[in-house]
Amino acid sequence: MFIGTIHAEAKAFEDYPAAIRKALDFLRSKDFTKEENGRVELDGKNMYAVIQRYETRDMAKGRPETHKKYIDIQFIAEGQEYMGWCPYNPDLKVSEAYNEEKDVAFYEKLVPESNVVLGAGSFAILYPDDVHRPCVDVEGVKSNVTKVVVKISLDIL
């Protein structure tokens, strides 16, 4: 998992793969607090964004997940949340097997568990070995979040 802020100078991202730079440029280009929820095509099935709004939830209700076909860039436009994380490892217990159509598998819990606060302007880049639990209250406090998740196919990295 890579964590950063969208407000960094563009040169801070120059060593990133071209597809990730394109996604970060897109995230820098708009005020997503004023955009409608929904899917935005950036490069067909190779890269797209999903704009969403929600209220964070109790950590116990969060479900750790992984993806096999896409990386996620999860960008917080408004609000804050805990992003739970651990590396993929044999101690994880699957709670819902991989769904190829939805490109997601779910786990009982993160083992070991780390959490980071993502606030407005922050992003996390999550690869297939990054088990993550998004959308969680920070220290038990609910937050209304506007998030953009850019999905990038591993085929173009």
Domain at 101, CATH number: 2.60.120.370
Give the model's pLDDT for residue 8. Answer: 86
**DSSP secondary structure string, 69-104?**
SEEEEEEEEESEEEEEEEE--TT--EEEEEETTTTE
Residue 51 lies in domain: 2-156
Tokens for 69, please give them. 């076909």
pTM of the model: 0.96
Q: Provide mean pLDDT across the span 12-17.
A: 90
Chain mean pLDDT for the chain: 96
**Percent of the chain whose pLDDT exceeds 90:** 95
Report pLDDT digits (tens) over 35-91. 999 999 999 999 999 999 999 999 999 999 999 999 999 999 999 999 999 999 999
Give Cα separations from 97 to 65, 66, 147 (angstroms): 10, 10, 26
The answer to whether residues 27 and 150 touch, using CB atoms and an 8 Å cutoff, is yes
What's the number of domains the chain is made of? 1
Residues in the chain: 157
What is residue 129's three-state secondary structure?
coil
Cβ-count burial of 145 within 10 angstroms (0-12 exposed, 13-18 middle, 19+ buried)? buried
Q: Which residue(s) pair with 118 in the sheet? A: 81
Confidence of residue 13 (pLDDT cuts 50, 70, 90): confident
Give the model's pLDDT for residue 9. Answer: 80
Q: Provide mean pLDDT across the span 4-21.
A: 90
Is the pLDDT at 10 greater than 80? The verdict is no
Q: Provide mean pLDDT across the span 111-126.
A: 97
CB atoms < 10 A from the CB of 59, how many? 17
